[in-house]
Structure 1
């Protein structure tokens, strides 16, 4: 994907759709549009019910197209949408709050009567004003500040649940999910209690006014509500000016105005007061309703969450991806540009559909499936990306997690009421059901039999979910003696459900008490019901492998995370050298199986103490005999690595084994950049010692933020503290999950992921362990 500026060219050179039928429709640049593009209308049922499904044809055939009915270019693929979010100068957000339906004169007159003068806000403001204000007002959104709101959110949630717990049925939107996020939003802003009820009445009109398609008659009624909302918000703001002390974002903004009057202006405060209520309220209310609907429609997933509350953060994030409350945003091109292969002229308006991007199979595997164990669910674009990413995302996450934790604990038997039709307020951008009816049998409420349930609560760290919490239970169905001090475990789902698909090089984390051990998968990737790992007894280890060997029997449960693949096989080469030492054969055999199936040229070189200690040997001989070279030390056979590497030609080298083997290979392949691929399972990084470290700062190029990193703090920790989402897994420099792009600066690399050549190139770093050699790094975030 590319987004780039371009010099003006002749109209015929600008059209990427010359293949389309001319009679279908015409874009402003004279380009004929396809029949599907000509028919697209986001206000029709297909888009309103499921934006991602309505644009499936676009993701597959025409990822950027002009919609004559809407008057916008529509963008549907993940990479394109993210690139547009990233570049807020070429693609200005200035039209984000523009009325998508032209406003009638009568409605304009109505707004004027109320003195309505909505100004730019953080959502639709260009640089440099946007980032100046964002930096000035960001403190209230930092994790430490947001933590103050958690007790209030929990108290409200419990109070509303108490009201309906014995009813047996409820419309969760009307009776709970609409009210709580609005109350939280008003508390977050610092609105006085006596004004909350009045502001509640006006909130929904703003959404219809901006993103909907009201009739001329409806526009006047909507404008009247919006005008009243504007006037009353101004009165409440003036009341807060009288005493801006205490918690509350608007109170903090008033205090900041005294320090920065030219940045935080009066008109800006009034606009943010009104926009902040809508932004913090409706999106969270809709997202919560979408989440509960999705989970209750997927009963097995709901029961997994009920049984294992540690899954809640990842479940919330996956629901935000699969059916988020923000379906689309709008941008306007400030210069001629290209989005992929499509020319976009200066002045063109764009509808960038994040709901479609979140279902793009080019980025998410099985994107239409609700998978609460999904490895990259936090990559979703529901919160946007870059400098205009939603500031309130972590407040929304907190609310949704508490809702889900309370419901799964107190009403695990709740189900969707049958035969209900879900309806949505018609608009292009925000979506959630207007009603969500559920039912349950009050006699089965767990708290009737266990009153202590009411006192329990689970606190989740604020911010993006930790991948380490997405644990699933599996059952050991076989324990097979594979070699001397090596056993092979066969794992299945306890309910017989399919397990996740995986690819060669993937591993799972097995959790044994407080220990976590990574084991490469060595079975058949096409067997969707079984995962297999081989475990060597490590006598000098920390006890995990000894426990497996001594205690794990067929029929016993285990907890696992993954699969995850940080040792992925590049299938595009002509030749491959596969090198394994000891138990390192486990990912290598899966790669060999795949290469054989693809008909590639490969050779396996396998070292071990003795044939008796070499795992998977019989299968290797059976399936790869002609390609296999064995080096049992007990027979005096030694692998001549220098000779092997010198003769590798253009082969890719994949290796797994003891550190000394991998270190020697790294040295031998120093002059062959890109040839060697290895996987480590032991880290070398030590805990940070602030006496030996120095402070520095990281500048985030896409977000336009500068974040200080303390001497006792990792870059990953510093980014999370200010609400920047960076996925992570091992946090030991082994897996590569927390990798970010380096734009400028000298990195002190401390990981075991990058090759020497990649370190010298200095274009990537692992934020969990690596640091700056000097005072500043610029990162592509």
Structure 2
């Protein structure tokens, strides 16, 4: 323990549960941990930035002020969500600020008996109820709600479009989500103002830090909310043919009272009014504030509305309304290398995980072209992922589509932003915007208000996410290899990237991925393309059609081939055009002063792209080894592997034969020693006449799916409303990986190692299938 932590010793000895949590990684406390306060200061303004120190230094720490263990990294948060048994959600609705005796007495006077709801219920009760009540949340049912949402949005915009200035939350972003929620639930719309007071009180009561005096008033509001919910339920019970999710829930209560109980109906009635609109209202306010603060993104959306679905996802990632959620361990657990005792309370900060650079490339940059924005954790993950996620997405897309079309000249007004103190919900209290009504485009185009764009309910389509770039330079890198320099078509700097990253180029109907091989940070991208006349035609197309000054589309950057920079030694092996990610890795390792060596294999000097730059930049230290087929023969991979120092890492990119050889040579090394990337894919197109249909059980979601012979597992999952990220859809990148619990898998990817395939715990949903039509179980 460092000297700076000495002031915490007495506190730890008096009950802080560090004795069972200390391990080889050290004590999970620091001065920063002692100062952490989710109700004021930096966390209230920007929770992701406030926890940057934690992501970098102490990703799991104990907060003495809060009495919770705070989890800040993406993978750790996702691991907690993934196991709802070990990490129980039972504390989600506990009052984070202990109630005063006076507040408890007030609630008792209202017979307040808030019990389990969808968000804080343990298994198996949770999944049984979720299965019974999920039907209304499926994409095909929600499609029917789109016109109602758009009509409500238009009415609000019509009311203020000629005013030139408006507080957007009061004018639209609070009331429309509330009306949508009430319509979805089938609840009367006659007490909007009262419900707003009730909803705010419930949020403050559960996740806020009210003073003792405020607690009494909040308790009265919560108690009245509880009574109101009960009264509405009784009215709805009499409407046997009523429409809406609460009517459906009440009917399920009559059909299966042991699963959908009376107390559950009352508790859900109160909880879902808050959940169905508060989070969408706050997320929408965050979205407009973020986009109007990043003017180029707003202008790009105005010019190309197809970007809206992914822009919404990026807003949810960068500034989502759900900042953090809670869990409690039901037994000893390990999170982020820290051992936790049974009963430990966890604050898992999704806002921090959503800006974790270990998962998101250039994570603290807002980028509506980010191709894995949908990976965000704002909706949670696993068994308790938000059932209403697609309602929120739908509303936010319609808000953005209507506003960018009708008020493209909208701007933020000068103002100070404030936020309600809360561990879990975040959004500005007010959002003033302004514009010049004389410039409203519908004054000249009276049909503009009717020119709407429809977005299907669900996660965004990856094919729509692409930015325009220009070829600024072409050069001959080697025999059959061209070097390409790309710049943003609008003259902006392209996003930064990390060693091992790739982009996807789109020219006409041809789309191919290429590793970045330049130096990050200069706002341009460099790639090298080998012409393969025997391939599928992509490289030939780019060789023949790329021209200096020409424009094309680009996706990314993405990185599924990341360096472990902390390893004591790195062996980098490139075969042919596989030098492109390898030279970027060498550049990075040199920059940070790491120990590395490079082995570059090629058939001849003339065919080895970037050879001269590799030798000039890295050859002086003697770490570059050329293995030239027509001069020195093939590399001795057995010797290279045998000389790998303890805890060293091997990174390789090249043709299949080279990767297979290295897999065999590294089979006895510890897991994680060998990392590889293929640069070609097999033909993964389905031939329905040769495929088996198969059944899939999604254990976390409680769903059973049939995957037809002419569809992929990924397609079937998305059709069922299950969000699974994807990128290449060729089995190369690993982004669509799902966890296998049971059943044989026909692995067709180029991501998993031999041992991982034998273990049969993971599969790539874009290409792999169940063996011979077997039934498989997945942790989804």
TM interval, shorter chain, is 0.7 to 0.9
Report the alpha carbon displacement of residue 681 of structure 1 after superposing the two structures with TM.
2.8
- SS of equivalent to 1:232: helix
Report the alpha carbon displacement of residue 142 of structure 1 after superposing the two structures with TM.
1.8
Report the alpha carbon displacement of residue 176 of structure 1 after superposing the two structures with TM.
0.5
- Contact preservation (8 Å) 2:498, 2:520: no
Shift in alpha-carbon separation, 1:238–1:197, aligned structure 2, 3 A:
farther
* Mean Cα deviation higher: 672-681 or 454-463: 672-681
Q: Does 1:455 align with 2:450?
A: yes
- Contact preservation (8 Å) 1:680, 1:752: no
- Equivalent position of 1:143 in the other structure: 139
Report the alpha carbon displacement of residue 29 of structure 1 after superposing the two structures with TM.
4.3
> In the TM superposition, what whole-angstrom CA distance separates every residue of 1:218-258 from its partner, at most 9, and x where no partner exists?
33433333233223322322333333546522122223233
Q: Distance in 2 between matches of 1:517 and 1:30?
A: 52
Q: Distance in 2 between matches of 1:293 and 1:267?
A: 39
> In the TM superposition, what whole-angstrom CA distance separates every residue of 1:189-219 from its partner, at most 9, and x where no partner exists?
1224556676455332221222223344433
Aligned pairs for 1:308-707 (under 5 A) are: 308-340=304-336, 342=338, 344-418=340-414, 420-483=415-478, 486-522=481-517, 524-537=518-531, 545=539, 547-568=541-562, 572=567, 576=571, 578-581=573-576, 583-590=577-584, 600-607=596-603, 615-616=609-610, 619=613, 627-631=625-629, 649-650=642-643, 661=657, 665=661, 677-687=676-686, 689=688, 692-700=691-699, 703=700, 705-707=702-704
- Equivalent position of 1:736 in the other structure: 734
Report the alpha carbon displacement of residue 59 of structure 1 after superposing the two structures with TM.
4.1
- Contact preservation (8 Å) 2:361, 2:557: no
- Contact preservation (8 Å) 1:93, 1:124: yes
Q: Does 1:709 align with 2:696?
A: no
Report the alpha carbon displacement of residue 128 of structure 1 after superposing the two structures with TM.
1.9
- Contact preservation (8 Å) 2:354, 2:376: yes
- Equivalent position of 1:28 in the other structure: 15
- Contact preservation (8 Å) 1:466, 1:728: no
Where in structure 1 are there 5+ consecutive unaligned residues? 1-12
Which of the residues 697, 716, 719 maps onto 1:718? 716
> In the TM superposition, what whole-angstrom CA distance separates every residue of 1:615-671 from its partner, at most 9, and x where no partner exists?
556556766787334346xxxx79658x66687645677665666x45874797596
Report the alpha carbon displacement of residue 463 of structure 1 after superposing the two structures with TM.
2.7
Q: Distance in 1 between matches of 2:96 and 2:136?
A: 31
Q: Does 1:257 align with 2:253?
A: yes
Shift in alpha-carbon separation, 1:565–1:254, aligned structure 2, 3 A:
same
Q: Distance in 1 between matches of 2:675 and 2:8?
A: 50
Q: Does 1:176 align with 2:172?
A: yes
Q: Distance in 2 between matches of 1:748 and 1:186?
A: 46
- Contact preservation (8 Å) 2:506, 2:552: yes
Shift in alpha-carbon separation, 1:87–1:411, aligned structure 2, 3 A:
same
- SS of equivalent to 2:310: helix
* Mean Cα deviation higher: 395-404 or 176-185: 395-404
Q: CA RMSD in A?
A: 3.6
> In the TM superposition, what whole-angstrom CA distance separates every residue of 1:514-573 from its partner, at most 9, and x where no partner exists?
321222333x22352221223345557776555544443322222101122344456648
> In the TM superposition, what whole-angstrom CA distance separates every residue of 1:563-589 from its partner, at most 9, and x where no partner exists?
2234445664857473534x5554455
Shift in alpha-carbon separation, 1:746–1:630, aligned structure 2, 3 A:
same
- Contact preservation (8 Å) 1:20, 1:34: no
Shift in alpha-carbon separation, 1:241–1:688, aligned structure 2, 3 A:
farther
Report the alpha carbon displacement of residue 56 of structure 1 after superposing the two structures with TM.
4.0
> In the TM superposition, what whole-angstrom CA distance separates every residue of 1:19-69 from its partner, at most 9, and x where no partner exists?
554466765347697554444433334433233344444445544444444
Q: Distance in 2 between matches of 1:45 and 1:400?
A: 29
* Mean Cα deviation higher: 249-258 or 408-417: 249-258
Report the alpha carbon displacement of residue 105 of structure 1 after superposing the two structures with TM.
4.6
- Equivalent position of 2:24 in the other structure: none
Q: Give the length in aligned residue pairs.
A: 755
- Equivalent position of 1:758 in the other structure: 756
> In the TM superposition, what whole-angstrom CA distance separates every residue of 1:273-311 from its partner, at most 9, and x where no partner exists?
111110011011001111111121122232233333333
Q: Distance in 2 between matches of 1:182 and 1:142?
A: 20
- Equivalent position of 1:188 in the other structure: 184
Q: Distance in 1 between matches of 2:368 and 2:411?
A: 19
- Contact preservation (8 Å) 1:186, 1:196: no
User: If the length of structure 1 is used for normalisation, what is the TM-score?
Assistant: 0.86
- SS of equivalent to 1:170: strand
Q: Distance in 1 between matches of 2:216 and 2:569?
A: 68
